[in-house]
Amino acid sequence: MGTCRVLLADDHVLIRHGIQKIIESEPSLEVVGQVGDGLELLNVMKDISPDVVLLDISMPNLRGIEAIGEAKKICPSVKIVILTMHKSKQYLCHAIAAGADGYVLKEDSDTELLTAIDTVLLGNVFISPVLSKDFSRSDLEACRNKKNLPSDSLTPRERQVLKMVAEGRTSRDIAELLSISTRTVEHHRANLLKKININNTADLIKYAIGKGYILPNS
């Protein structure tokens, strides 16, 4: 196999630079791009065909969980490794259910990150040692089959709009970011509020935090 092409997706520049140094210490790996949010990731993947994406969960505009499925539609063979600070089994399960091939914590060692890349390239799933001791094969299969996950009737587009509204973006801002009309944004907003039975921004923000769409300090 030739050089493995790696794309980095994290909204913190210093973290991306640190990861790049780790990746490029390995002759068989090459960083082919860096992006700072989920929408930018999808746009870049239309021009770059990476072998592996290292993806943070908590990013602006489109969080990593929602980006996984969209990224695999663009590049079906790409391997996606979540690189995050979230130790929650719920986050891990959501990532696996969404199609992630690996889950690495930012506190893990350089060696574990490189091992994760090797593991997913071989077609296996890598889970951080911090979490794997309490995460059995049956747990993995349950997450892959999307069992024991909270039901969410929102469409991928409604989830994008939910996140952006909770972050304080206007309908006009959202329309520009998603390249859709303001009227379409308003339609999505109305649908998602009806589905989750919420009619004010404060409760919507609480819902978004509870579901992990945004962090409490966003």
The pTM is what? 0.73
Task: Report percent pLDDT > 70 for the chain.
Answer: 93
Has residue 201 got a pLDDT over 80?
no
Are 55 and 64 a contacting pair, CB within 8 Å? yes
Q: Cα angle at 7 between 121 and 119, to 5 degrees?
A: 20
Contacts from 151-156 at CB under 8 Å and sequence distance 24+? 152/211, 153/195, 154/192, 154/195, 154/196, 156/66, 156/69, 156/70
Band of residue 215 on the pLDDT scale cut at 50, 70, 90: low
Q: Which domains does the chain have, with CATH numbers?
A: 4-144 (3.40.50.2300), 156-210 (1.10.10.10)
The pair of three-digit structure tokens given for residue 215, joined into one six-digit string: 């962090």
- pLDDT tens for 111-126 read 999 999 999 999 999 9
